[in-house]
Amino acid sequence: DIQMTQSPSSLSASVGDRVTITCRASQSISSYLNWYQQQPGKAPKVLIYAASSLQSGVPSRFSGSGSGTDFTLTISSLQPEDFATYYCQQSYNTPRTFGQGTNLEIK
Amino acid sequence: QVQLVQSGAEVKKPGASVKISCKASGYTFTTYYIHWVRQAPGQGLEWMGIINPSGGTTNYAQKFQGRVTMTRDTSTSTVYMELSSLRYEDTAVYYCARESATTIRWFDPWGQGTLVTVSS
C-alpha cells in the first residue's frame, strides 16, 4: 500500500496568513494526488485534484503543486471559513490511501 | 444536481451486522464507481473499498476482507455496504463517495455520512 504522510498534523494561523501543508507519498504517484477539506460534522469536499487542478467553485486562494512523491497545498490568505481539517489522498492505485490529516486552527 | 443520500444512523451490538445504503441521483448510476470510506471519532479517513455499479465488481481493503460486502441495485440507483461481526472499534461515520470517471480520479460528491455506533 502507498503511505501518505502529511505535515504538520496541526497548524495554528491567523486570518490573512499564507499557509502551506505538505504531503509525501511512499512511492511515486505522478500527479495522482487530491486534497480535501473537512469541516466539523461534515463530509469531506474536494479542493484540488490531479495535484494542481482547482475544483469548480473552490476559491482561487487555494492552490496545489507537486508531482512524484512531494506535494503541497497552499492557502494564500486564510479566511475564517478555511479553518478545518485537510487531507491528501492518492488515486494512483487501490487502496486509495489518505494522509492522516492537518488540523488548521485559529491562532 | 448530483448527490448521494445515505441511510440513517444505526446502533448495533457487538457481533451484529449493519447494512448502509447510498442512493445516487442526478447522473447515470452505472457510469461512476462508488467508494466507501469511514472515519472513527476524532480520527482520519480510512478507505474501505470500491464497487463498480455497472458490473457489481468490488475491491475491498485487506483490513475488511471477509467482513465487508458491497452490492448495488441498478433499478434504484443504490449501493449498499454491509459490515459484519461488528466490534466496538467499528464505531464510526461511514461515507459513500462517487469517483470521477477521468484518468486522474477524485471523490466528488460524498454522501452525508452514516453514524454507526457499536455498543452493548
Please give the grid coordinates belonging to residue B12: 448495533
The answer to whether residue B14 scores a pLDDT higher than 90 is yes
Residue A95 preceded by cis peptide, ω within 30: yes
The answer to whether residue B84 scores a pLDDT higher than 90 is yes
pLDDT at B22: 98
Name the nearest CA neighbour of B115 among B20, B50, B35.
B20
Cβ-Cβ pairs closer than 8 A, A with B, add up to 60
pLDDT at A107: 87
Judged by a CB distance cut-off of 8 A, whether residue B57 touches chain A is no
Judged by a CB distance cut-off of 8 A, whether residue B27 touches chain A is no
Among all residues of chain B, which has the CA nearest to that of A48?
B106
pLDDT at B106: 96
From chain A, the residues in CB contact with B59 under 8 A are 94
From chain B, the residues in CB contact with A32 under 8 A are 104-105
pLDDT at B103: 84
Q: Which residues contact B29 (CB under 8 A, 6 or more apart)?
A: B53, B72, B74, B77
pLDDT at A46: 98
User: What amino acid is encoded at A55 in this protein?
Assistant: Q
Judged by a CB distance cut-off of 8 A, whether residue B107 touches chain A is yes
Q: Return d(Cα B47, Cα B110) in angstroms, integer.
A: 13
| E-only strand ranges, B7-120 | 10-12, 18-25, 34-39, 46-51, 58-60, 68-73, 78-83, 92-99, 107-110, 114-118
Indicate the pairing of strand A10-13 with strand A19-25.
Answer: unpaired
For chain A, residues with pLDDT lower than 50 are none
Judged by a CB distance cut-off of 8 A, whether residue A54 touches chain B is no
User: What amino acid is encoded at A106 in this protein?
Assistant: I
pLDDT at B101: 86
Judged by a CB distance cut-off of 8 A, whether residue B42 touches chain A is no
pLDDT at B102: 85
Average pLDDT, integer, range B6-24:
98
Q: Which residues of A38-56 are buried (b: 16+ CB within 10 A; e: fewer)?
A: beeeebbbbbbbbbbbebe
Average pLDDT, integer, range B32-38:
98
The alpha carbon torsion through A4, A5, A11, A17 (nearest 10 deg) reads -70
The answer to whether residue B54 scores a pLDDT higher than 90 is yes
